[in-house]
Structure 1
C-alpha cells in the first residue's frame, strides 16, 4: 500500500547522527516514512496530530468523570467568591449581572473554538497542541510560549487561598498572614501527593467532591427561593434575612470604566475556565471526540444556569453593601443569613471549602498533564524524568512543575490582594492565547479545508471573540474611576502578564536563534521512548556533516551485488511510466516489481508493503492529500533495524503464515527507480562491509498502532560511498534494508541523497519511486 498519514506515517521520527555532503551545502532533516529523520518530530505540529493518541496510563476517563473534570473546575471559588469581588468593583447589581451575562457569551464563543480544535486534533495538551499545529513557524516559537505560560502561569493558587479563608472563617481562627498561606500551601501539597502517588484514588476523590459542589450550588439556589418565598425568622436580628432588594436602583453606583470592566470580565472568565479543561487530558478520555462535544456543551449550560441563579440568590438574601464588603466570603454570609450562626456559619461554609479543594484537585490533575506534554516535547529541563509516569504510574513530574509556581504565587503577594491579583494575572496573558487560537481557527478554515472537523465553530462568534480580545488587552491601561489607596498599581497584573510573555520571547530568541548562531549549530529533536512507554522528544545539537568521497560506478555496475555489497544495479524497463495514480501503480507496477525481485533474487514469495514517490525539492514532504509525493532525504539512514524488519512480517501477514515464513530467509529490499533521469540529488549507497555494527544507532518511530525503528549512522572515515551518475528510468537500484542471514553476506546498506555540486539551479527536481518489499526464501533455512 502507499504511504499515508495513517498507519504508515510515524508520529515521531528520529534525527540521524551523521550526514553526508559533497559541498558546503547542508540540509536539515525532514519527516519521512521509515527512511530517516523527521524535522521537526514534535507532538503538536506534525500532520499526525489529527489522529488520537492514547496515554500510557490508558483511557480511564468515562463521561461522568469527564463531566466532573469540566464542571468541577468551573464550580470552585468562582461562584462562591467572585460575585462579591465583582460587585465591589462595578458598584451595582445591574452592571454585575450584565458582566456575568457578557462573560458567559464570550466564554461560549471561546468554547466553540476549543471544541473545533479539540475534535479536529484529539490529543492531550489543549492550546499547546492547537498553537503548535497552527503556527509551526517560527520554529519552536509557539511551543516555547506555551511552555512558559504553562509553567509560570499554570498555577492553581486561587482556590487554595479560598479554601484557607473559609476554613479560618468556619473555626473563628484569627486569619493571620502566615496561617492563611501555610494552610493553602498544605492543601496544594497534599493534593499533589494524592495525584502523584494514588492516580485512580485521586480521580475518585475529585469525582466525589465534584458532585458535592454541584449539589451545594443547587442547594444554595433552593435556599434562596426558600428565603424569598417563606421569609423565615431568625432570633438574631443582625443575621436575619432581608426582604428582596428593590430593583428600581439596579444601576445605582455603576462604574463603567473600561479598566474596571476588563478586570471584572477576567474574573468571570476565570470562573468559567474549566469548560475547556477536558482538552488537556484527551489521551485519557474514552471516545474522546464524542465525549468532548457532549461534556463541554452540557457543562456550559449547567454553569451558566447555576451562576446566574447563584448571583440572584446572593442579591436576594444578603444586603448589597454587605456583599461589597465581604470580599471572597460572600457565600459564607449567604449561608449565615439563611441558616443562622450554627449550620449557616459552620457546616455550609466548610462545604464551600471542600468545594474549593475539589477545584484544586481537578486543576492540578489537568495542568499536570499539560506540563507533562510540555516536558515530552523537550521544552523543560530534565524532560526524561518530568515526562515519565514512574514510579507510581502517575504524572508526578508534571505535578511537581505545577506545585512550584503555585506555592510561590500563594506566599509572595500581600494576602489582602492575592486573590484578585492571581485571577487578573492569569486572565490577561490568556487573552493573547485566546486571540491566537481564534485567528488560527479562521486561518485553518481557509488554509486547510481538508481537515476533518466533527464540530465547527460559528465564524461570527469567533470574530466577536477576536474583537473582544483586542478590547480586553487594551482595557487595563485605562485608569480606574476609584483607585484603591495604598494598593497595587491598577495595571500591575497586565504588566506582569506581558512581562512573562516577553520573557518567553527572549528565551526563545536566545535558545533557538542567538546561541545556535554563535555556536554554529542547529537545534533538532531526538525522539525517545522511555521504559514506561512514554514517547518523548529531547532537544539536541545535531552532529556536524562531513565531506566524503562518492565514487561514480558508471561502467562498473556489474561489480556490485546484493549479497556482497548490499546493493545492485539492474536493467529493467517498466510498463508503468508516469507514476501519477496510486491505484494504477498498485495494479500494474506492483506485480512487475514482484516478478523483477523474484528473477533477481530467486525468492519464491514477495510482499510489497509500501511505496514512496519523490518529486518535491530535497527534504520536503508533500502537502495534505499527497503524502507519498516527497523530496529526497539528505540524511544517512537504513530503513529498518533488524528487529523492526522482522516485526513487519507478522504485522503484514497472517500469524500462521508469518510464523512459517520466519523459519526461512527473510529480506527487505528497496527497489529504487528514477521516473526521469536523475541529475539532481542523486542517491548514494555506503558499501555494507565498510559500516560497522557499532556505527548503527537505532531511532524509534511511533505510529498510531505500532512502533518501528530505523538505523541512523555514525560517521567514520572508512565508509565507502558509491552512486551512478544520470541513472535512467530503464535502470533500478536494489537496496538491501535487511537480511536475516548472518553468514557474512551483506545484511543492510546505509543510503542517502546528496547535493551534487555540478547540478545547476536550472536542473529539475529529482523524480523517483521506491518500492519496499518483504522478500522470502522459505526453503533457505540453514
Structure 2
C-alpha cells in the first residue's frame, strides 16, 4: 500500500491542482532571486513518480526506515533518559548557586526549568506526532519556514556544527579526575590539557577503532546509570535518616526558611544565565524525535516515553539538589565550582571513598557522555557535510579508511577544542553552557512560533497530540525574555575578566554568520551518482514565457542558439533493452551527430531513460521522471575532464582539436505533458551558472545549476514526436562567440490535459570531436 492509500497518512496531504496560467514555469536553484514553492519532492525525483498536482506537504510523510523500526518503548526511554542525565546534575548546581546567591532561588530555578522543559516538550510532541519522521527540529524548521529557501537548513547546520560540541563534559571529566587524584588547586592549564586529552582520545577511538568506541560507551553508560541510582539512594538517606542522627546535627548544615533566601541575586541577567545551565541539565528530552523512523509505534511511544523521562529527571534533580544543600554548607558549594558532587560524597563517605572512588565514577560518567555525544554528533555532521554545507564535503563525508565518520569527528573536534582552550580557565564551564544556551533560544523561539503559525495557517494537518496553547506562549515568552537578558547588566562586574554579555555576542555572531553564508550564495549540495536521493534539492519556481518554435525549427542551430531540432527516424521504438540500445541506437545517434555537426569522431559515454510509472522500470535500469530543475549537464572543467577519463590513450591528440558535448534528446512517445524547454545560450551569462559537485564512486565531476534572470529566453516545441530529436549543446571548446552551452529543464505546461499520459524520453550524451578544427 502506498502512502497515498494509507488513511492514517492522508490528512498530511494537501493536493491542489495548479491554477491555470497563461505562462509556464521553469525552475531554478537556491541561488535564484524570487519566490514560489517547489514542484517536485525528493522521493518523486528518485523514482520518477511525479504527481501532476503534488504539494510540498507530501515531503512530510513518514519515511520508511532503512534500518527498520527496531526501537521498543524501553529502548526509546533509555535513549532519552541517558541523554538527559549527563554531567549537568554533578556540576551545574554549584555554578547556579554561586550565581543566584541562595538555595531558595536555586531550587526555584530547577522547578521553573522543569516547567519550561514540559512546555518545550509539548511543542516537540505536537511536531513529532504531526511529522513522525527522524530529524527533530531540523525537520520542523524546514517544514515551517520554507522561505528564504535554505535559510532554515543553513542555520540548523551552523548551529549543529559550531555549537554542537562536547566541551562541557570534557571539563567535568578533568575537574573530577583531578579531584579524585588529590589535586586541590590544579592549574587551569592542567584542567584544559586533561579535557583536550579526553576529547582527542574519544576522537581517535571512534575514528580509528569504532567497534571499541561502541563497547566503551555501552560500558560507561551502565556505570552512569548505576551512579545515578546510587545518588538517588544517597539522597533518600540524607533526607530521611541523616538529619535525625547526632553526627548529622554536628557535621551537616541546617537550612531554614529564614536563611533559604539569604543572599539572593534577583538580577535578570544573572537568573537567565543560570536558567541556561538548568536547561542544559534537561537537554535531550526530544532525543527520540531524532530517530522516529526507527521507533515502533512512534506517535504513541513518543508521547509516553518523553513524559516518563521528564517526570524521572525532574524528581531526581530536585531530590539531589535538596540533598546537596543538606549535606554541604552553602559557602562551600559556592566555592566548589563543578565539584559539588565530589564534596557531597566526601562529607557522606569520608576522605577515602568519598574523595576518590565516587568522584572517579563521576569522571567516568562524564567521559561516557563524551563518547555517546561524539558518536551521534559525528554522524550528524557527516550528513551535513554530505549535503554540501561544509568545504571538502566529499572528504568529510567519507567513511574511509576505518569505516567510521572520521571527517564528522574532526568537524566535531575543532569547535570543541576551541571552546575548551580559549575562555579563561576559571569560568570555562559556565561560559560553554551560556554559549550553547543563548543561540538555542532562537531555535526554541522559531519552533514555538512556527507551531502557532501552523495552527493558524494549516489547520488541516493531522495532529494526534496538540500542545496546550498557554504552554506554547509561556515557552515563547521565556525565550524572548532570555534573549533580552544581555540588556540587563549585572550590578557587580564579572571577576573572570570577560564582558558580561560575551556569551550572547558569540552566539549571535555564529547565527549571523549562518545568515550571511546562506544569503551570500553558499555552495549547493553536492550530488552523488550512486545516491539518487542527493539529486533532489529544494528549488524555486518562476513564471516565464516559453516560445513554441513549431514552424520555425530551422532558424535555431547548435552554434548560434545552443540547440537544434532535427527530424530523425529510429529503428528502435520502445527502448526497453539496454544492450539493444547500445548496439543499435548508439550507432544511429553517432551517424546523426556526424551528419549534423560535421565531426569526424563521436564517443557516446552514457544515456538516460525517463519514464514516470515504476512499472516501466527494467530489471537493470531504474526509470526516472522529468527533471524540473534548470541545469547544464557538465561544467566547463568537468566536460574537458571527460576526454582523458573515457579516452586516455587518445586524449592528448583529441584535445588539440575542437571538442563538444552534445545531448540527443528524443521522446519515446509524443510529448503531451512536462515538455523540455531550452534557454538560448546567448541570453544566459556565465555569471548565472552555479557549479554543483557531482560525486562518482571513483572520481569527482561538476554540473551547472542556473540562477533565474528575467532576460533568459526560453524555447520549446509543442507536441514533439518520436520522429524528432532536440540536440542540446552542453559544452564547446570554441570561445569565438559560438554558443558553448544551453540550460534546459522540463516544465509544467498549464495547457496540458490532466489525464495526459506521462512523458517518456531517452537522452544520449556524446563527446563530439573535430580533429581538423584547431584553435
**Whole-Å Cα distance in 1 between the matches of residues 724 and 296 of structure 2?**
42
Among 103, 125, 128, which residue is 1:115 paired with? 125
In structure 1, the residue matched to 2:235 is: 224
Deviation at 1:26, TM superposition (A): 5.8
Deviation at 1:368, TM superposition (A): 2.4
In structure 2, the residue matched to 1:28 is: 28
Among 503, 508, 511, which residue is 1:498 paired with? 508
In structure 2, the residue matched to 1:367 is: 377
In structure 2, the residue matched to 1:48 is: 59
For 1:295-444, list aligned pairs within 5 A: 295-444=305-454
In structure 1, the residue matched to 2:611 is: 639
CA 248–713 in structure 1, closer or farther in 2 if over 3 Å, else same = closer
**Whole-Å Cα distance in 1 between the matches of residues 414 and 307 of structure 2?**
33
Gaps of 5+ in 1: 10-22, 513-522, 568-635, 652-666, 675-680, 686-698, 701-711, 726-732, 738-749, 757-763, 775-782
Deviation at 1:51, TM superposition (A): 1.8
Q: Is the 8 A contact 1:228 1:317 kept in 2?
A: no
In structure 2, the residue matched to 1:95 is: 105
Q: Is the 8 A contact 1:116 1:457 kept in 2?
A: yes
SS in 1 for 2:425: coil
Deviation at 1:539, TM superposition (A): 10
**Whole-Å Cα distance in 1 between the matches of residues 505 and 49 of structure 2?**
39
**Whole-Å Cα distance in 2 between the matches of residues 129 and 110 of structure 1?**
16
**Whole-Å Cα distance in 1 between the matches of residues 237 and 46 of structure 2?**
71
Deviation at 1:142, TM superposition (A): 0.9
Gaps of 5+ in 2: 11-22, 30-38, 554-565, 575-607, 624-665, 679-692, 695-702, 707-714, 726-742, 761-775
Say whether residues 1:106 and 2:78 are aligned partners. no
Deviations 1:230-280 (A, max 9, x none): 449999x99974154223321111111111110111111111112123333
In structure 2, the residue matched to 1:769 is: 755
CA 37–427 in structure 1, closer or farther in 2 if over 3 Å, else same = farther
TM-score between both structures, scaled by the size of structure 1:
0.66
In structure 2, the residue matched to 1:192 is: 203
CA 341–649 in structure 1, closer or farther in 2 if over 3 Å, else same = closer
Say whether residues 1:176 and 2:148 are aligned partners. no
Deviations 1:82-135 (A, max 9, x none): 111111111111111111101111111111212222333344432222211111
Say whether residues 1:156 and 2:151 are aligned partners. no
Deviation at 1:327, TM superposition (A): 1.0
**Whole-Å Cα distance in 2 between the matches of residues 240 and 336 of structure 1?**
16
CA 305–393 in structure 1, closer or farther in 2 if over 3 Å, else same = farther
In structure 2, the residue matched to 1:468 is: 478
Cα-Cα RMSD: 4.9
Q: Is the 8 A contact 2:567 2:724 kept in 1?
A: no
Q: Is the 8 A contact 2:493 2:500 kept in 1?
A: yes
**Whole-Å Cα distance in 1 between the matches of residues 747 and 280 of structure 2?**
54
**Whole-Å Cα distance in 2 between the matches of residues 115 and 538 of structure 1?**
28
In structure 1, the residue matched to 2:718 is: 723
TM-score between both structures, scaled by the size of structure 2:
0.66
Q: Is the 8 A contact 1:124 1:370 kept in 2?
A: no
CA 319–448 in structure 1, closer or farther in 2 if over 3 Å, else same = same
SS in 2 for 1:638: strand
CA 208–122 in structure 1, closer or farther in 2 if over 3 Å, else same = farther
SS in 1 for 2:335: helix
**Whole-Å Cα distance in 2 between the matches of residues 364 and 101 of structure 1?**
30
CA 382–340 in structure 1, closer or farther in 2 if over 3 Å, else same = same
Deviations 1:311-343 (A, max 9, x none): 011011111111111111100000000000000
**Whole-Å Cα distance in 2 between the matches of residues 668 and 204 of structure 1?**
56
SS in 2 for 1:646: coil
SS in 2 for 1:147: helix
For 1:543-562, list aligned pairs within 5 A: 550-552=549-551
CA 461–233 in structure 1, closer or farther in 2 if over 3 Å, else same = closer
Say whether residues 1:452 and 2:424 are aligned partners. no
SS in 2 for 1:274: coil
Deviations 1:402-458 (A, max 9, x none): 111111111111111100000001100000010001111122223233433343322
Deviation at 1:217, TM superposition (A): 2.8
Q: Is the 8 A contact 1:377 1:536 kept in 2?
A: no
Deviation at 1:171, TM superposition (A): 0.4
**Whole-Å Cα distance in 2 between the matches of residues 35 and 227 of structure 1?**
61
In structure 1, the residue matched to 2:640 is: none
Deviation at 1:399, TM superposition (A): 2.3
SS in 2 for 1:298: helix
In structure 2, the residue matched to 1:741 is: none
Deviation at 1:156, TM superposition (A): 1.0
Aligned length: 597
Q: Is the 8 A contact 1:157 1:410 kept in 2?
A: yes
**Whole-Å Cα distance in 1 between the matches of residues 547 and 495 of structure 2?**
73
**Whole-Å Cα distance in 1 between the matches of residues 92 and 525 of structure 2?**
44
Say whether residues 1:276 and 2:276 are aligned partners. no
For 1:697-716, list aligned pairs within 5 A: none
Among 203, 225, 242, which residue is 1:214 paired with? 225
Deviation at 1:646, TM superposition (A): 0.4
For 1:58-137, list aligned pairs within 5 A: 62-137=72-147
CA 755–101 in structure 1, closer or farther in 2 if over 3 Å, else same = closer
In structure 2, the residue matched to 1:577 is: none
CA 436–642 in structure 1, closer or farther in 2 if over 3 Å, else same = closer
SS in 2 for 1:47: helix
Q: Is the 8 A contact 1:368 1:402 kept in 2?
A: yes
Q: Is the 8 A contact 2:427 2:496 kept in 1?
A: no
Q: Is the 8 A contact 2:243 2:249 kept in 1?
A: no
SS in 2 for 1:275: coil
Deviation at 1:161, TM superposition (A): 0.3
CA 480–403 in structure 1, closer or farther in 2 if over 3 Å, else same = same
For 1:136-147, list aligned pairs within 5 A: 136-147=146-157
Say whether residues 1:267 and 2:277 are aligned partners. yes
Say whether residues 1:510 and 2:520 are aligned partners. yes
Q: Is the 8 A contact 1:76 1:356 kept in 2?
A: yes
**Whole-Å Cα distance in 2 between the matches of residues 233 and 336 of structure 1?**
20
**Whole-Å Cα distance in 1 between the matches of residues 326 and 289 of structure 2?**
37
In structure 1, the residue matched to 2:709 is: none
CA 461–486 in structure 1, closer or farther in 2 if over 3 Å, else same = closer
CA 196–754 in structure 1, closer or farther in 2 if over 3 Å, else same = closer
Q: Is the 8 A contact 2:61 2:131 kept in 1?
A: yes
**Whole-Å Cα distance in 2 between the matches of residues 356 and 561 of structure 1?**
71
**Whole-Å Cα distance in 1 between the matches of residues 149 and 536 of structure 2?**
15
CA 208–455 in structure 1, closer or farther in 2 if over 3 Å, else same = farther
Q: Is the 8 A contact 2:435 2:504 kept in 1?
A: yes
Deviation at 1:470, TM superposition (A): 0.6
